[in-house]
Chain A
Amino acid sequence: MMLLSVSSTLLFTAFLCYLVATLLFGGAVHDKKQQQQRSHKRFALWAVIVTVLGFLANVGYFLTRWLYTGHVPLSNMFEFTTAFGMFIVGAFLLLYALYRVAALGLFVLPVAIIIIAYASMFPSEVEPLIPALKSYWLTIHVLTTVIGEAILAISAFSGLIYLLKVIDLKKRSMERFWLEFIMYTLVVVIGFVAVTTYFNMTGYEATYTYVDKEGEQASITYATPPLIGMHQYEAQTTGHMEPLAATPAWINAKKLTTVIWSVLAGTLLYGVLRLVFRKRLAAVCQPFVQKTSLPLLDEMSYRSVLIGFPVFTLGALIFAMIWAQEAWSRMWGWDPKEVWALITWLYYASFLHLRLSRGWEGKRSAWLAVGGFAIIMFNLIAVNLIIAGLHSYAE
């Protein structure tokens, strides 16, 4: 138990370090006054030091949890998502060592914070492993994959900064809309964290029985007020709201309800932020990115795909096949998780090939990089929680 509490303390320390480092990176790129070169450099140095400390604490969390559970802590949503946040910071440090772009930290760290906060909404209990998951190859496969995804993700941040710099936010355009949509999505994730934390603290519970896809009776407990009911639901507990609608058997209404709550809270929060800043969130970020060179951002985005793609290939395809061969007797079975790893891989292969053609560097490439991150997040969230195949971590 000692180890486990040390482990969570370290994770919390990392979380705090990232928060502080974000502010320091803000100081390093803020461009209110000119001629601040020296102070910018000092801020950047401290920001990096604090980030490295946070990352070390984060690795400490990972190793102590590993020691405690006896298997690599990547076996459920909480562990996997936390590790993803951690490796994103690691990948950022790698790219920072190569390019020293402080603005990157200002965007990567808040997202890492949001990802770790999102992860901690999932149960963090230590669970025993089912036999199929007990394999060195699985450990190597998942570890390499998540590191590869984290490096690939950096290209999206680089792309995002590129877009913030080049897109004219004064003119109405599709680009402006989608850029703002990215900001909105981040706020919705914060909405999810807020809603989940709130109802966790109030200890909300509502239990229903329902009829599942196979026509059998099952029971489910909501942790948020049930906006949408399960197929042919019947309340088992009292004193909570009546669902507004019911879903067909193949839709999980509990998850749908969580999504709706997150969107509601996120939209509210977004509205408040808009009122406070009196401009688009993209416009709020824009002053921080002005000093970074566009070709540098473009190269950084391309380079992180170049570095991450082989790692991802090794982890998500090659090691995955070796593991599947050992565990399931076939190296490939068109299981949804496998297919989505293939899709991610094909996507980045297209990205690399499109860059061979003229006109696909710069802005288009930046959009593609952002799209890649969307696919990775889709893998993590939707494929794990909704499409769920053989090796689903959820539930």
Chain B
Amino acid sequence: MQCDCGHKNASGAQLCERCGKPLTTDLDMRYDGAVIRSKTKKKTFIDKIWALFANVKFGVLLIVLTLVAAALGTLLPQVLFVDTSKFASEREAYTAGYGVFGTLYYDIGLAYLYNSWWFQTLVLALAASIIIASIDRGVPLFKTLYNQHVVKHDNFLKRQRFTLTVKADAMTFDEATAVLTKKRYRVRTDGDSLLAEKGRFARWGPYINHVGLIIFLSGIMLRLVPGFYVDEEMWVREGDTTAIPGAPGYYVKNNEFILETYDGERVEDAVNSVAKKYETQATLYKGELLAGDTANLERVSDVSIEVNHPAKFDGYALYQMDYRLDELKTMTFQLNDKTSGRSFGDVTIDLANPQPRYTLNGGASVTLDGYYPDFDGFDGDGAPHTKSPNPNNPAFLFTMYTPKTPQGETSFTQIQKTTEPLGETRYKMTFKSAETRDITGLKVRKDVTMPILLVGGIIFMCGLMIGSYMSHRRIWVKQTAQGFVLAAHANKAGFAFKKELRHVSEQLHVNAFHDKQEKEGDDDAS
């Protein structure tokens, strides 16, 4: 690119490096004519990749692709939000819920969209594009903005949106300096030229926000490193002390779980009332639990865990997430003679810790030959079966020994019903009472990346505000033989700038600036 002044410029230059004359017909003021790498180097493979990722249109394409993918993921609920427990497979749950479309949705992998490799690759590409584009433009922009010449070529001034020429006797440099300084411009002069500038920092806004964004995304990536991020769930029964998963050496004891509703105060059953509060009153312990013995645990603190108010300790947090009310804790049975009703006393079975044998009064005893906490029928070969280890529907296989029946009688006992699988018995285990307790569902979280995310977020917001709420404004004045040539530029909010220019020209008692964008007959901001 050869300029009229004879200087040979590097290709891609928008302004002559010697005389500053614009070399292209449309001058891009966004980068002040700086030479941008991606616009000039296009030879090697690396240059091409660089240019692609630095291209804002490509960046927008990546943003839009992410947006569309994210939207696809909301057409149907993700697997996380679908109750699949009633179906043989997740796929069947989608078919049953949403028909053929559901099956298809599941099969192309949209049900796990946000964890899919391609979605994550998309976000990574976005991050790469942000980094490359920022370096590509940020570095040359920084260089030009900090090495600005006060003296500009006449053509450079003529190309600006706001221009004005005034007669030689209409104003002086001193007047201009005084007016502009009062408007908080920094004014520099060089020979017959003047440059007034303010808010240059606004130009860094986008770069600062991109840096914040990248820090934030790095924080997210760090979560994949073991130890940086703990996310576990646990259930604790009232009265129990349980090791906290993911937090070795820590234990939590559930002293009481409380559910309050709006109509009654504390209620046991909240089926039809609006819940007001879920709370677990707990005690935290540290140490080592030896053979179920809590004696050698060191008490850390008593805490209350409520929705919206997690308990925090040593970088961990315990959240109230779920609960189950009234789980059976103990069951009490009475051993009776079926005909006379005579009783040998009670047996209380701790469901968490059932004993093999219980001794009663009058020489009687009972052995527990089988315990089925969540009984749901018999197998093909007649053996009782339990659905889960939780005592939702306990059933017991007892053998009852009394002085009259020393060989023992077998009874299969549930709360409502007793069967006698090996023939009719003389004695019976009669259900008397049960004790229940609540269970609380807690979530254990530790997130070392949180400070990184926080710092990233804060930097992002600062950059965003600097870039959006400030603007970089410049006014050039050049003295010529005929008088003064003025030109002005703001990187954004031109009409707001125009208002300021109007004040400037009023105070200098010169004509208003000419606005290249203005058309006759329009109502204008005034």
Q: Give min CB distance, A345 to chain B, whole Å.
A: 9
Tell me which residues from 207 to 234 in chain A have a Cβ below 8 Å from any Cβ of chain B.
213-214
Given known pairs A131-B276, A389-B81, the reply for A339 and B71 (CB within 8 Å) is: yes
A307 contacts partner chain B, Cβ-Cβ < 8 Å: yes
B307 contacts partner chain A, Cβ-Cβ < 8 Å: yes
A140 contacts partner chain B, Cβ-Cβ < 8 Å: no
A248 contacts partner chain B, Cβ-Cβ < 8 Å: yes
CB pair A99–B60 under 8 Å, yes or no, is no
Q: Give min CB distance, A290 to chain B, whole Å.
A: 9
Given known pairs A293-B519, A309-B464, the reply for A128 and B262 (CB within 8 Å) is: yes
A200 contacts partner chain B, Cβ-Cβ < 8 Å: no
Contact of B63 among A314, A334, A353 (CB under 8 A): A353
Chain A residues near B460 (CB-CB < 8 A): 313
Chain B residues near A313 (CB-CB < 8 A): 460-461, 464
CA distance A130 to B274 in the complex (A): 7
Given known pairs A329-B319, A347-B67, the reply for A310 and B308 (CB within 8 Å) is: no
Chain B residues near A101 (CB-CB < 8 A): 523, 525
Listed residue (B60, B275, B523) with the most chain A CB atoms within 10 angstroms of its CB: B523
B147 contacts partner chain A, Cβ-Cβ < 8 Å: no
Tell me which residues from 48 to 68 in chain B have a Cβ below 8 Å from any Cβ of chain A.
56-57, 59-60, 63-64, 66-67
B425 contacts partner chain A, Cβ-Cβ < 8 Å: no
CA distance A340 to B75 in the complex (A): 11
CA distance A130 to B262 in the complex (A): 9
CB pair B457–A318 under 8 Å, yes or no, is yes
Tell me which residues from 48 to 75 in chain A have a Cβ below 8 Å from any Cβ of chain B.
none
CA distance A82 to B60 in the complex (A): 34
A276 contacts partner chain B, Cβ-Cβ < 8 Å: no
B37 contacts partner chain A, Cβ-Cβ < 8 Å: no
Contact of A131 among B57, B78, B307 (CB under 8 A): B307
Main SS of the interface on chain A? Answer: helix
Interface-side segment among A8-16, A277-285, A295-303: A295-303
Chain B residues near A307 (CB-CB < 8 A): 468-469
CB pair A214–B67 under 8 Å, yes or no, is no
CB pair A343–B71 under 8 Å, yes or no, is yes
Contact of A339 among B74, B83, B521, B523 (CB under 8 A): B74
Interface flags for A305-324 (1: CB within 8 Å of B; 0: not) read 01101100110001001000
CB pair A318–B461 under 8 Å, yes or no, is yes
CB pair B80–A334 under 8 Å, yes or no, is yes
B321 contacts partner chain A, Cβ-Cβ < 8 Å: yes
Contact of A314 among B274, B461, B521, B526 (CB under 8 A): B461
A135 contacts partner chain B, Cβ-Cβ < 8 Å: yes
CA distance A334 to B71 in the complex (A): 11
CA distance A74 to B366 in the complex (A): 62
Q: Give min CB distance, B266 to chain A, whole Å.
A: 14
A243 contacts partner chain B, Cβ-Cβ < 8 Å: no
CB pair A293–B319 under 8 Å, yes or no, is no
Chain A residues near B357 (CB-CB < 8 A): none
A134 contacts partner chain B, Cβ-Cβ < 8 Å: yes
Interface flags for B295-336 (1: CB within 8 Å of A; 0: not) read 000000000001111100000010101000000000000000
CB pair A346–B307 under 8 Å, yes or no, is no
Given known pairs A101-B523, A248-B99, A336-B74, the reply for A329 and B275 (CB within 8 Å) is: no
B70 contacts partner chain A, Cβ-Cβ < 8 Å: yes
Listed residue (A296, A326, A354, A357) with the most chain B CB atoms within 10 angstroms of its CB: A296
Listed residue (A130, A294, A340) with the most chain B CB atoms within 10 angstroms of its CB: A130
CB pair A329–B63 under 8 Å, yes or no, is no
CA distance A300 to B493 in the complex (A): 8
Chain A residues near B461 (CB-CB < 8 A): 310, 313-314, 318
A132 contacts partner chain B, Cβ-Cβ < 8 Å: yes
CB pair A291–B468 under 8 Å, yes or no, is no
Contact of A291 among B77, B99, B309, B523 (CB under 8 A): B523
CB pair B523–A293 under 8 Å, yes or no, is yes
Residue of B nearest to A340 (CB): B74
Interface flags for A128-144 (1: CB within 8 Å of B; 0: not) read 10111011000000000
A245 contacts partner chain B, Cβ-Cβ < 8 Å: no
Contact of B308 among A309, A326, A333 (CB under 8 A): A326
Q: Give min CB distance, B272 to chain A, whole Å.
A: 14
Chain A residues bordering chain B, tally (CB within 8 A): 59
B496 contacts partner chain A, Cβ-Cβ < 8 Å: yes
CB pair A354–B523 under 8 Å, yes or no, is no
Contact of B275 among A102, A130, A302 (CB under 8 A): A130
Contact of B522 among A100, A296, A353, A354 (CB under 8 A): A296
Listed residue (B309, B464, B521, B525) with the most chain A CB atoms within 10 angstroms of its CB: B525
CA distance A357 to B275 in the complex (A): 53
B445 contacts partner chain A, Cβ-Cβ < 8 Å: yes
CB pair A299–B457 under 8 Å, yes or no, is no
CB pair B495–A296 under 8 Å, yes or no, is yes
Residue of B nearest to A336 (CB): B74
Chain A residues near B379 (CB-CB < 8 A): none
Chain B residues near A166 (CB-CB < 8 A): none
A327 contacts partner chain B, Cβ-Cβ < 8 Å: yes
Residue of A nearest to B261 (CB): A128
Q: Give min CB distance, B242 to chain A, whole Å.
A: 18
B277 contacts partner chain A, Cβ-Cβ < 8 Å: yes
CB pair A350–B67 under 8 Å, yes or no, is yes
Chain B residues near A291 (CB-CB < 8 A): 521-523
CB pair A135–B308 under 8 Å, yes or no, is yes
Contact of A132 among B56, B60, B308 (CB under 8 A): B308
Chain B residues near A131 (CB-CB < 8 A): 275-278, 306-308
Chain A residues near B445 (CB-CB < 8 A): 329-330
CB pair B274–A128 under 8 Å, yes or no, is yes
CA distance A334 to B492 in the complex (A): 35
CA distance A347 to B60 in the complex (A): 9
A356 contacts partner chain B, Cβ-Cβ < 8 Å: yes
Given known pairs A293-B519, A329-B319, A357-B56, the reply for A100 and B308 (CB within 8 Å) is: no
Residue of B nearest to A334 (CB): B114
CA distance A333 to B464 in the complex (A): 25
B517 contacts partner chain A, Cβ-Cβ < 8 Å: yes
Q: Give min CB distance, A71 to chain B, whole Å.
A: 13
Interface flags for A106-139 (1: CB within 8 Å of B; 0: not) read 0000000000000000000000101110110000
CA distance A310 to B458 in the complex (A): 12
Please provide the 6 A-B residue pairs with the shortest distance between their CB atoms, ordered closest to farther.
A293-B522, A329-B319, A295-B517, A131-B307, A346-B67, A306-B468
| 16 A-B pairs (CB sep. < 8 Å) | A99-B525, A131-B307, A293-B522, A294-B519, A294-B522, A300-B495, A309-B464, A309-B468, A321-B457, A333-B80, A336-B74, A340-B74, A343-B71, A346-B66, A350-B60, A356-B30
Chain B residues within CB distance 8 Å of chain A: 30, 56-57, 59-60, 63-64, 66-67, 70-71, 73-74, 77-78, 80-81, 83, 86, 97-99, 114, 231, 262, 274-278, 306-310, 317, 319, 321, 443, 445, 453, 457, 460-461, 464-465, 468-469, 492-496, 517-519, 521-526
Given contact pairs A303-B493, A307-B468, enumerate 8 new A-B contacts (beta carbons under 8 Å). A99-B495, A296-B525, A306-B493, A318-B461, A329-B319, A346-B66, A346-B67, A389-B81
Chain A residues within CB distance 8 Å of chain B: 98-102, 128, 130-132, 134-135, 213-214, 248-250, 291-296, 299-300, 302-303, 306-307, 309-310, 313-314, 318, 321, 326-331, 333-336, 339-340, 342-343, 346-347, 349-350, 353-354, 356-357, 383, 387, 389
